[in-house]
Structure 1
């Protein structure tokens, strides 16, 4: 993986919006020097989110650690990630997960969980790490608070954010972090560690805000607040929306979404999505039996009308101007071009393949000659501007500026996918070879045009498919990033209900195979992928079953079903925007997911709460961003993209 575009989410993971709580401690052991900071985030009617951050100040990595804690009566742990959890007699024990989790020397490691209940309090009553007090005290609780921070002052403002800086506090045992408070003394930003700057996002343009800052130590002692600072955000003229930052937010726009779903490129502007994305992948380009990229072949495959033929009216167009009958580029491509003009930091890539259009990939990469033909055809058509509709207006760097790179979506090399796909054992090394050739051709084109072209790929969650189809270390040298499937772990094709996008493994999972986001991530990291180069996928849709009996817990989970639930587009699938409005269902949560059940029909899906949990988990793993399949599943208010954006900004 080329490092010029690499940015880990670890840098923002420490800034999760959490409020630290004090800990009581057990007798000390002074051999590791490690401490644990407990903090809390969002709360809802039946629970809350929380986090333990293990800090290792020592000169050697902490490979073996055990954190034990107890909670007040009425509070319990519902789901947890980044550790193995055991409970006995009200004592919770956390140990490294199955793949190991070494806390680096001078570094930290975060464990997140969702608590249940807590009306009588949620702060752990005891906490130890390797039998030593979590706050690092020598046996007596630390009760001395840090000094108040100096300042703060505003160092930068945009129409939606304010950046603050302050003078560091001091403490007898060391400052563990800082909270930024609003005018109502509510925590709006938390900085774990010694950094003395923070950006508060989600603000309204041309509006005054007042902030103060206070420090806390590992024992949860809080300083007095700093002096207040009042800041006005910048005006927003709406012409040049602020870029979202360096983290990757990748969304798939489906060619066919403009039909039954009625989701147009203009909707990305209307619901605020476009301003919160870094990349759009347009799905999908096809490969013909000659091993070349094409728009429409002789068999009628493809949809040139949607791609560049359909005329959009003024109220359907990004720029508010209707298409003329004689303009040379219309359709989704022209709308994407208009969207990029409005959001100049947005990159649009053409995604090649997909589930049903991967059938000719194996033939296309079989020989050096066929690989050359495939790569040249794709680069010429989508990046050089030699689309048939352009009528000779092509040339290096033209293509009307629609596309900025290539996204490969071969499902799957050397593994079964769509029933008509060709599968060969040599797909594995041939995929490596064609990726290397794409990289070479894109770099050469970039040298010609002065542009920088992206190369990415959609990858499976199944460890078996990873082993069969991918030479991970070699591939990662050529990709700017990869997106890993974080959904479709289970579905209506199976005879029992299950989760399709759970973060952690869930006890009692009937299979037929156990999947989770932790398993998917471990499959790539353990085989040589840098977490910072992985953009993890989240679904904007749910999967459902019908004919489901309540089961022993009454929630329908892991119960036999008679088949997939009816869906508006296909059986067993429905979009978030529809599922959120279902009535007569009870909402349940576990393992970073949500599900709805009414006594006979079961829908597993993601809403704003579970989407935030997924982003928080991705941040805790140091991943390179979030990918969305697919953008047409959100509602007109952008509920899901707003949840993702807020969590990434924290």
Structure 2
């Protein structure tokens, strides 16, 4: 009898860990999606919102002020010009939604303190009181000043205090008749740090230092300290999370075991393993669950490898939330052998941006669909164009995987790229214990 039970014991323990508490199901909700016609009302009416546990609003920026300090700020409306200093405050809290657009059917009025996306998030929270909303700071374009802002204890304290003042206490700079002291108070339940990346700058304009490794840990500890102090005064729990790349280089550039102590969970960006930034390919998967030994990439990235790497680095499994993409990555001019898989290319496929397309568009394609038996990723190939992406079935396999490994949950980038039925969101939210 014991011999029969022992082989399944690790699986049972992992499953118990996964179901012991509420599994997190979340997504990033982008400010600019409002310009493309996306409304949270659609998400709510689909039924998917009722099973989500959190949304991360993207993004808040960190600025260098005239006095040399680094702070969160509001009241700026500057389109990103390629230098990492943009902000879309009008979309955040000053754009007025009509009754037809709003979650609860009420139109924003002139002079009300909170309008824009922030008010829609507030309405969504009122309908779903268990939903947590976090402000995500940084991102791939707005991580310019994180390194400088984290360089000393005084700078870290100033930055953290300013972010709490702006987003948690909700003190928004007046803009077009909206905002003001406490305008967004109670709106955000926490902060997500999306520094891309400590010690490994994603953009050429980002500040970077060899001391980022330690300073990232110290920055998160300062956020935890100040959020906990505020929460104690208010008798409220504030959440702190971080978006992390799952690659070896970025992992080695930080201190996972140390910084994990400050975090409620990590949003692991287990996607973008390959893309048309390598214009000649080869065409490969960008969010595959498992690695294929036949892939020409010698690093063989995958969700499974990223998760295993983070656990070995010291992040508890229950704090790891894996990421899924609501978009495809692809190439054009791809050779026909193997239905395009692992073949060379001539450039990026055409999509909403170079080499990327929303799931809502990909799912309408008539191109043949193939599913890889090892990686569990699917791809399409037609007219020398290759796309790799996740569908509901692929996400269901990732849900089963996170349960088996006792992980903390699943999240996506980004909410607006799902189809009209929110098929991917619903597949994610099928996690037992989600809500």
Deviation at 1:35, TM superposition (A): 4.9
Checking the alignment, whether the CA contact within 8 Å between 1:556 and 1:599 is kept in structure 2 is: no
Q: In 2 relative to 1, CA 442–388 (structure 1 residues): closer, same or farther, beyond 3 Å?
A: same
CA distance in 2, matches of 1:55, 1:377: 50
Pairwise mapping of residues 97-116 of structure 1 onto structure 2 (< 5 A)? 103=10, 108=12
CA distance in 2, matches of 1:34, 1:478: 40
Q: Alignment partner of 2:41: what SS?
A: helix
Query: Which residue is equivalent to 2:93?
Result: 308
- Normalised TM-score (structure 2): 0.90
Q: In 2 relative to 1, CA 274–108 (structure 1 residues): closer, same or farther, beyond 3 Å?
A: closer
Query: Which residue is equivalent to 1:574?
Result: 357
Checking the alignment, whether the CA contact within 8 Å between 1:252 and 1:282 is kept in structure 2 is: yes
Report the structure, 1 or 2, having the larger helix content: 2
Report the structure, 1 or 2, having the larger strand content: 1
- Normalised TM-score (structure 1): 0.61
Checking the alignment, whether the CA contact within 8 Å between 1:350 and 1:406 is kept in structure 2 is: yes
Query: Which residue is equivalent to 1:426?
Result: 211
Query: Which residue is equivalent to 1:281?
Result: 56
Pairwise mapping of residues 128-147 of structure 1 onto structure 2 (< 5 A)? none
Q: Alignment partner of 2:372: what SS?
A: strand
Deviation at 1:392, TM superposition (A): 4.9
Q: Alignment partner of 1:311: what SS?
A: coil
Post-superposition Cα deviations, 1:237-257, rounded to whole Å, max 9, x if no partner, equal xxxxxxxx8210121000011
Post-superposition Cα deviations, 1:489-534, rounded to whole Å, max 9, x if no partner, equal 0001122100001111112211264211121111110011110111
CA distance in 1, matches of 2:195, 2:402: 24
Deviation at 1:639, TM superposition (A): 0.9
CA distance in 2, matches of 1:331, 1:268: 16
Post-superposition Cα deviations, 1:396-440, rounded to whole Å, max 9, x if no partner, equal xx7342111010000000113122111211001011111111111
Ranges in structure 2 where 5+ consecutive residues have no aligned partner: 80-85
CA distance in 2, matches of 1:257, 1:459: 23
Query: Which residue is equivalent to 2:282?
Result: 496
CA distance in 2, matches of 1:331, 1:467: 39
CA distance in 2, matches of 1:586, 1:527: 36
Q: In 2 relative to 1, CA 563–362 (structure 1 residues): closer, same or farther, beyond 3 Å?
A: same
Query: Which residue is equivalent to 2:189?
Result: 404
Q: In 2 relative to 1, CA 323–484 (structure 1 residues): closer, same or farther, beyond 3 Å?
A: same
Query: How much is the aligned-residue C-alpha RMSD, in angstroms?
Result: 2.2
- Tell which has more relative contact order, 1 or 2 (C-alpha 8 A, sep 6+): 2
CA distance in 1, matches of 2:97, 2:76: 24
Pairwise mapping of residues 290-329 of structure 1 onto structure 2 (< 5 A)? 290=65, 291-297=70-76, 301-329=86-114
Deviation at 1:599, TM superposition (A): 4.2
CA distance in 2, matches of 1:459, 1:560: 29
Query: Which residue is equivalent to 1:248?
Result: 24
Post-superposition Cα deviations, 1:113-147, rounded to whole Å, max 9, x if no partner, equal xxxxxxxxxxxxxxxxxxxxxxxxxxxxxxxxxxx
Pairwise mapping of residues 198-597 of structure 1 onto structure 2 (< 5 A)? 246-260=22-36, 262-290=37-65, 291-297=70-76, 301-389=86-174, 392-394=180-182, 399-468=184-253, 470-494=254-278, 495-511=281-297, 513-551=299-337, 553=338, 555-567=339-351, 569-590=352-373, 591-597=375-381
Q: Radius of gyration: which is bigger?
A: 1
CA distance in 2, matches of 1:532, 1:646: 18
Post-superposition Cα deviations, 1:50-70, rounded to whole Å, max 9, x if no partner, equal xxxx325xxxxxxxxxxxxxx
Ranges in structure 1 where 5+ consecutive residues have no aligned partner: 1-29, 37-53, 57-102, 111-191, 194-198, 200-244
